[in-house]
Amino acid sequence: MTDAYSPIPELNLLKRFADQCTDFFAPGFELREYGRGVAWSDEETPEFDARVITFARATASGSTYALWRYDDDADLAALPVIFFGDEGDLYITAHGLRDLFHALAEDDDGDTAPTRESYFENRRAYVAWVTSTFGPPPEYERGPMAEYGWRFVDWLLEVGMEDAAEIMTDNLEIMGVARP
């Protein structure tokens, strides 16, 4: 039996870092119980729940980060990261965990970032930690919405999440991401 936070080494490394922090290190970001589920729809959809793995709160108001397990053979750390907004937003926000970790290091959310000195200390430590642990940010030819968006829409329709599929379709169209 293991006392690891998750079966994903990258998340376990982040958990060890976060446990040493006395404050947040990225605005609104907080690791939560791994795989707890997303309370994002009123509908019961076991197929959805089986493929969406939650791991963090994304905003102070309750938005969630989750991994979309589109492939059973995929490296869990390389699965796309989905942002489930507490106000109905839905995006594929990162290609995988390393992409998300680097994005959190770059994003300071201006007005919503805490102003406590302990936050700034943790923030500086996090930025240094991400670079020393994972190296430079990964580079991708296409953004995560362009890479996975339409596949995610199709999957949402397949598991009966029509409302979520409509939100994703709207976001893809607004972003100008053409269906392949």
Strand pairing class (81-84; 64-68) = antiparallel
pTM listed for this prediction = 0.90
- Please tell me the number of Cα atoms within 13 Å of 88 on its side-chain side: 8
Q: Please state, in angstroms and as integers, the Cα–Cα distance from residue 149 to each residue in 70, 118, 144, 152, 153, following that order.
A: 12, 37, 7, 5, 6
35-50 pLDDT, tens digit per residue, is: 877 666 556 678 888 8
109-125 pLDDT, tens digit per residue, is: 555 555 677 778 888 99
Question: What is the pLDDT, as a whole number, of residue 115?
Answer: 63
Q: Please state, in angstroms and as integers, the Cα–Cα distance from residue 175 to each residue in 67, 144, 168, following that order.
A: 21, 12, 10
Question: What is the pLDDT, as a whole number, of residue 25?
Answer: 87
Question: What is the pLDDT, as a whole number, of residue 1?
Answer: 46
Query: Partners of 52 in the beta sheet?
Result: 68
Of residues 112 and 142, more confidently modeled:
142
CB atoms within 10 A of CB 106: 10
Check whether 108 has a pLDDT greater than 70.
no
Q: Give me the sheet containing 30-31, strands edge to edge.
A: 30-31, 52-57, 64-68, 81-84, 90-94
Q: How confident is the model at residue 88 (pLDDT cuts 50, 70, 90)?
A: confident
Q: Are 168 and 156 in contact (CB under 8 A)?
A: yes
- Please tell me the number of Cα atoms within 13 Å of 50 on its side-chain side: 7
Question: What is the pLDDT, as a whole number, of residue 36?
Answer: 76
Check whether 100 has a pLDDT greater than 50.
yes
Domain ranges of the chain: 9-140
Q: Are 64 and 57 in contact (CB under 8 A)?
A: yes
- Which position has the token pair 């994903």? 8
Q: How confident is the model at residue 170 (pLDDT cuts 50, 70, 90)?
A: very high
Q: Are 162 and 169 in contact (CB under 8 A)?
A: no
